Amino acid sequence: MALTRRTFLQSALAGLTFSVFPSWMPRLAFTPKNAAARGDVLVCLFLRGAADALNIVVPFGEDEYYRQRPTIAIARPDDGRMNSPLRAMDLDGFFGLHPALEKLLPAWQAKQLAFVHACGAPDESRSHFQAMELMERGCEAASGPGTGWLGRHLASLDTNNHSPLRAVGIGERVPRMLQGTIPASALRSIADFHLRGDAASVQAMQNALGNLYASDAAMGEIGGETMNMLAILEKLSATGYIPRAGATYPESELGLGLKQIAALLKAQVGLEIACVDVGGWDTHIAQGGGEGGMAQLLRDVGDSLAAFYHDVADYSQQLSIVVMSEFGRRVQENGGLGTDHGHGSVMWLLGGNVRGGRVHGEWRGLQHENLFQGMDVAVTTDYRDVLSEVLVKRLNNPNVVDVFPNYQATMRGVVN
């Protein structure tokens, strides 16, 4: 291939990025003007380790739940033997919410929070690695597409948005579900997005970039957008992000991560997808009930999500939040006062256009004959049905067959 002036400039700049610029700079440098997301901004929260669905959305109306979990079950809402903070919060007379999620109750009451119980993947391995790998790729077998389902969504939906912040994974690396042909950025902090060095060095780099872009007319507009993006993010980093009054984020990785997402959303930098993980859900030992290890994890999730949702309340009609886990846990508690790997789980949906205030899905009960392999909650709603409906109705992607190939999704009525 002939070395043109344009390709030389691109190559030269790409070479410089590894020594003086952040790793995302090549993508930032060659993107046209940003465009608004075509549909909702999607925030996907993954609970890694297989969160116990039965102690999150509690079937307190079923006696079998208490027979199978004499130690770790969440008390009924009307159980006078327990202090109120340790009892499930009644949702619909049958299901209750873990008390550590109390800050999400207003969203439920406002019909902007919903759950899909007995939801999950067809994978039967009960292997964290395999289940997460297949779920993030959105397929049923290792022979399926190697890209992530969100990566394919981005590739199948042309929003004319080439922002380097179109898709962001909070953390050290881009999550599997975001990997694909469309670049995504890994971000621990907005402070990562800047030219490194002292004031004189930064000014020299800015001058060099300006001269480089000015020498090629086709790259001039791109260069201007690059510097504008840097200026926006550096300003956010320098001034510090101030959440909306009343939005108090926990000082946890999740709380800080969601605060970063809120800042990007409000800065209107072209954000369409944001992913964030929370680990620690493999509760084989000392899981606890209304209090304990899992309750602490749930409180962090509930408080962080509540703060984020309040913070971005002005955007709630253009925002969809999905919470998922690779599978659920065994119905019966184990000898270590925890739970082993199970099957069916629960998905959470939060947003202004969620059909909230209800627990969706077919609930078959916890009697032995209704359980998967006689042990676990059966999957009655495929997680791809929920995600497909969010993509079609809220993100305006009509090409869901490209996102989940060889799967015919059923619309479950979980969002408007």
Would you say the C-alpha torsion 59, 61, 64, 69 has a positive or negative sign?
Answer: positive
Residue 99 has which token pair?
């008390």
Ranges of the chain with pLDDT below 70: 1-37, 192-210, 212-232, 235-239
Compute the mean pLDDT over every residue in the chain, rounded to the nearest whole number. Answer: 87
Closest by CA to 401, choosing from 33, 123, 199, 145, is 145
Rounded to the nearest 5 percent, the helix, strand and coil shares of the chain are 40, 15, 45
Q: What CATH number does the domain containing 315 carry?
A: 3.40.720
Q: Is 331 within a domain?
A: yes
For residue 274, give its domain range.
35-195+244-403
Residue 400 has which token pair?
């869901």
Q: Is 78 helix (H, G, I), strand (E, B) or coil?
A: coil
Which pLDDT does position 28 carry in this prediction?
A: 36
Kindly report the pTM of this predicted structure: 0.86
Q: Is 16 within a domain?
A: no
38/29 Cα distance (integer angstroms): 23
Q: Is 95 within a domain?
A: yes
Angle between helix axes 293-311 and 253-267 (nearest 10 degrees) is 20
Question: Could you give the number of structural domains in the chain?
Answer: 1
Do residues 253 and 262 touch, judged by C-beta distance below 8 A?
no
Name residues whose C-beta falls within 8 Å of residue 252's C-beta, 6 or more positions apart in sequence: 300, 304
Q: Is 51 within a domain?
A: yes
Angle between helix axes 217-239 and 253-267 (nearest 10 degrees) is 130
Which pLDDT does position 158 carry in this prediction?
A: 86
Which pLDDT does position 4 carry in this prediction?
A: 43
Q: Is 72 within a domain?
A: yes
Q: Is 388 within a domain?
A: yes
Calculate the alpha carbon distances from 183 to 135, 310, 357 in Å. 20, 30, 36
Phi-psi region of 132 (alpha: psi -120 to 50; beta: other; left: phi over 0): alpha
Q: Is 169 helix (H, G, I), strand (E, B) or coil?
A: strand
Q: Is 9 within a domain?
A: no
Do residues 27 and 67 touch, judged by C-beta distance below 8 A?
no
Name residues whose C-beta falls within 8 Å of residue 223's C-beta, 6 or more positions apart in sequence: 29, 209, 210, 212, 213, 214
Closest by CA to 236, choosing from 203, 272, 267, is 267
Residue 213 has which token pair?
């872009």
Distance from the Cα of residue 162 to its chain's centroid = 21
Closest by CA to 219, choosing from 210, 229, 228, 206, is 210
Q: Is 75 within a domain?
A: yes
349/155 Cα distance (integer angstroms): 24
pLDDT, tens only, 108-119: 999 999 999 999
Q: One-letter amino acid identity for 232?
A: I
